[in-house]
Structure 1
Amino acid sequence: MTQVLLAVDFEFDLILFELLSEVDDVTIVARPADDVELLALCRTGSADVVIVGQYFPGLDAQVISAIHAAGTAVLGFGNDTAALESLGIVSSVPSSADAETVAQAIDDTRDSTVIPPRPLAPPGSLKGQGHIVTVWGTGSSPGRTLTAVNLGDHGARQGHRSVVVDADTVAAMVATTLGLTEESAHLANLCRLEMEKTPPLDISAVPHAAVRDDFHAVTGLTRPDRWPEVRASVLTAVLSRLAKMFDLVVVDVADRVDPDDDFADPFYDRHCATRAALEVADTVLVLAAGDPIGLQRLVKLLGTERVESLGSKMRIGITKVRSGAVGHPAEVRIREVLARFVRRDPDFIFSDDRATADAAMLSGHTLHEENPKSVLSQEIAAAVTELLPARKRPRKSGAGRAAKSL
């Protein structure tokens, strides 16, 4: 007996249900409402075969890949075979097929499915793949956006074609920090193109603002209530695609990572974007303010399972470091605190250059543009050199900002 899940378009659901009711050795175990329910059923081994339609709610290539990874066979149902193949569905039957044809296709799909072996080691970055750095951290305003923007700026100045992506679904501030005036939400547009299966294939087609020839920005949501437009699986695909076009992808995210409501669906809460950006990153830079409250929050954060799951790709940065907040010398005091409570040294210390940061924010400039001799700017430049796999020969940068938005 073959166990089947029906995950087809609404107009075909009843037709296919009645059609398979005529087949003796096929049992329909469930008819999930969306991709979340579908994946939950597949991961529990509820079925041998899933029959899917291209317009099933939430369906995309990542969902199909997850179904295959769970060891469940996938059979497409519909007349647009090209669209089904673009999702990763190899076998399909037309909507006009009779019960015998569908039954045979189910058997063939089930018998031809091979469960891939579990890899011996986690997959690494592909050759030529760009480096994704997600800038995360505690609350109390440690300067995530300021750091992310200037990491991208110095990455470009060191010869890496860079893009900063604003994936903060609570308070997107990259556009404001860079003095960009356009009101379009580039990230939402990118997610929409990804969901419509028409993603950009080169940089010129990516919705973005060109700050310079080698430094670009994908602005965030224009309103916080637009967070449902940034789904975790889609954002993962967007960032992975950008990493094939840029040498350095810096992602600015909110500090919150878990659902606001314990009973909320974890796949559709507003902080799923943060979790996706953390998972897809090659490096996660965890920031905390260099004051007693910021350090206490960092100690608590470092003790969570979420941070422990980041493993070796996590780096710690302490921002706004000043002796007046923690005693003199400030860096020594901070290292003593972290050594005592978490037995770890910070990877980066960023000074509290409030004057340059304020002037840069007021003018919409990066720290280097505002003051090339800024200590904070030089510290971020040094962090870029350490974070990236290798230093490249500098490309020629434009003399000024390109005010255009693509």
Structure 2
Amino acid sequence: MSQLQVLIAVSGAGWDSSLVKTLEIAPGRIGVARRCVDLADLMAVAGAGLGQVALVSADLRRLDREAISSLRLNRLAVVGVLPSGESTADAARLAQLGVRHRVRVDADPGQLAEVILTAATESQADLGGAEKAAIANGPAGIEDAIRSGGAVRPADEDASAVDFVEGSGQRGRLLAVWGTCGAPGRTTLAVNLAMEFSLLGRATMLADADTYGASVAQVLGLLDEAPGLAGAARLANNGQLDAISLARYARRITPKLHVLTGVVRSSRWTELRPSALEMVWEQTRSVAAMTVVDCGFCLEDDESISFDSAAPRRNGATLSTLQAADVVVAVGSGDPVGLGRLVRGLSDLAEVAPEATVHVVVNRVRRSVAGADPEQQISAALNRYAGVKPFAFVPDAPQVLDAGLLSGLSLAEAAPRTPVRQAVAELSRRLLTADAATGRLGPARMRS
């Protein structure tokens, strides 16, 4: 049996020598491959393929979720080492960073060896799609907010940290709204579904994770926006995101609806790091019954066309969100081009999000392009070519939608009695009913 090689990076903790001595007498074949002087040294050694387990301290300088994710991509198990005595804060920080295995420096050799061996055994099984998703880099900058010529939604107060703390502890649902290229109406549907959920009494968080063209803020008339989702992701990446800090970045639209706006420039997509978004979704689930995420269109795993597995992945935010979602609303436009793209996209979606329930929604349905009975014609086409039946149809109403966009209001606020708003309201009720009936989701399935 070969020796299990351990990397130690607890520089500055003052007890790395005692840790090495404990490892020397620990049972099993465990050896110290290197005592790293800092995080950069640890990352370099990991990139060279040395070691199977990394021991890190909570106060290691520059240690964040991206560093942990990168270590795992290099097939290293990560174990957090806590100082002796009371270390609640250190344990909480390591948990926020995603370090599941932790041990005290004063643990006996047998206990230390057990934790290391357990982490090493689980590391290969845990290296799944979320950890293989894009690793983005670079510090977040400060950009001027985008200004537009439409009406501005009246400024509302930021989210109440008290409300978020009172609502924390629940396990809300994550609904991702995805659609193919060609603007089938992802953002419009995501915004209005979130509004309808809130009107039905569900505490709702709307997030814009589109790394190509974030526009939720503009649709809602939030012209003084800061990239709320990117700010929350930064804190999550540093292991500092909780309900109170989440409230700093969420905008309050109604008492039941809050928004995490997207990046104001598409060039800032590197700020939406997949490993950090995992923790953001965990926090939004804890304070909201429903989290609605507007995703990007592209499902291409660009890791497969790159020689650098640690390079940033622009589609990582979309892929990791779809993998984390309980329900995916797949949006397609009700015309031959849009339906063709939807048919091809659904097969890719099934590979990306195998655990999610997928509901197909056909948007912009109109007789002028789909025939005298558009719903029947579209249903027949999707059943023939994709083997699915649409979950819902949303009629085309360009003038109504344009009026809402100009005023920065949702359909429920701007045109509550129109057929398009009624269709979205009915869709939201059906989604809640289907979600309650489904319970915990099993294998991937297409639902009608």
Structure 1 residues 198 and 57: CA distance shift in structure 2, 3 A: closer
Alignment of structure 1 residues 262-301 onto 2, 5 Å: 262-263=305-306, 264-265=308-309, 268-301=312-345
The answer to whether the aligner puts 1:257 opposite 2:299 as a matched pair is yes
Q: Which residue number corresponds to residue 6 of structure 2? A: 5
> For residues 337 and 259 of structure 1, what CA distance do their matches in structure 2 show?
28
Q: Which of 75, 79, 85 is the aligned partner of 1:74?
A: 79
- 1:130: Cα distance to partner? 1.6
The answer to whether the aligner puts 1:154 opposite 2:191 as a matched pair is no
- 1:390: Cα distance to partner? 8.2
CA contact (8 A) 1:9 1:56 kept: no
> For residues 326 and 40 of structure 1, what CA distance do their matches in structure 2 show?
57
- 1:5: Cα distance to partner? 3.3
The answer to whether the aligner puts 1:53 opposite 2:60 as a matched pair is no
Q: Which residue number corresponds to residue 187 of structure 1? A: 229
Structure 1 residues 136 and 114: CA distance shift in structure 2, 3 A: same
Q: Deviations over 1:57-87 (max 9, x none)?
A: 66449959x97xx995725277995554121
CA contact (8 A) 2:207 2:261 kept: yes
Aligned length: 368
- 1:176: Cα distance to partner? 0.2
Q: Which of 100, 108, 112 is the aligned partner of 2:111?
A: 108
- 1:208: Cα distance to partner? 1.5
Q: Deviations over 1:93-141 (max 9, x none)?
A: 3xxxxxxx8xx866531235657999xxxxxxx9942221100111110
Q: Deviations over 1:355-404 (max 9, x none)?
A: 11111111111012111112111111111111125899xxxxxxxxxxxx
Q: Which of 179, 192, 207 is the aligned partner of 2:249?
A: 207
CA contact (8 A) 1:193 1:199 kept: yes
Structure 1 residues 324 and 168: CA distance shift in structure 2, 3 A: same
Computed over aligned residues only, the root mean square deviation of the Cα atoms, in angstroms, reads 4.1
Structure 2: any 5+ residue segments left out of the alignment? 96-100, 126-167, 437-448
Structure 1: any 5+ residue segments left out of the alignment? 94-100, 119-125, 393-406
Structure 1 residues 345 and 390: CA distance shift in structure 2, 3 A: closer
Structure 1 residues 320 and 266: CA distance shift in structure 2, 3 A: farther
Give the letter aligned to residue 91 of structure 2: E
CA contact (8 A) 1:240 1:280 kept: no
Give the letter aligned to residue 204 of structure 2: S
CA contact (8 A) 2:173 2:326 kept: yes
Q: Deviations over 1:206-256 (max 9, x none)?
A: 412111111221111122222222211211111121111112111001101
> For residues 147 and 131 of structure 1, what CA distance do their matches in structure 2 show?
17
Q: Secondary structure at the match of 2:287?
A: coil
> For residues 256 and 58 of structure 1, what CA distance do their matches in structure 2 show?
30
CA contact (8 A) 1:301 1:307 kept: no
Give the letter aligned to residue 85 of structure 1: A
- 1:258: Cα distance to partner? 2.6
Q: Secondary structure at the match of 2:114?
A: helix
> For residues 48 and 191 of structure 2, what CA distance do their matches in structure 1 show?
38
> For residues 189 and 259 of structure 2, what CA distance do their matches in structure 1 show?
14
CA contact (8 A) 1:152 1:163 kept: yes
> For residues 201 and 372 of structure 1, what CA distance do their matches in structure 2 show?
33
> For residues 237 and 414 of structure 2, what CA distance do their matches in structure 1 show?
39
> For residues 288 and 228 of structure 1, what CA distance do their matches in structure 2 show?
27
> For residues 382 and 434 of structure 2, what CA distance do their matches in structure 1 show?
29
Q: Which residue number corresponds to residue 98 of structure 1? A: none
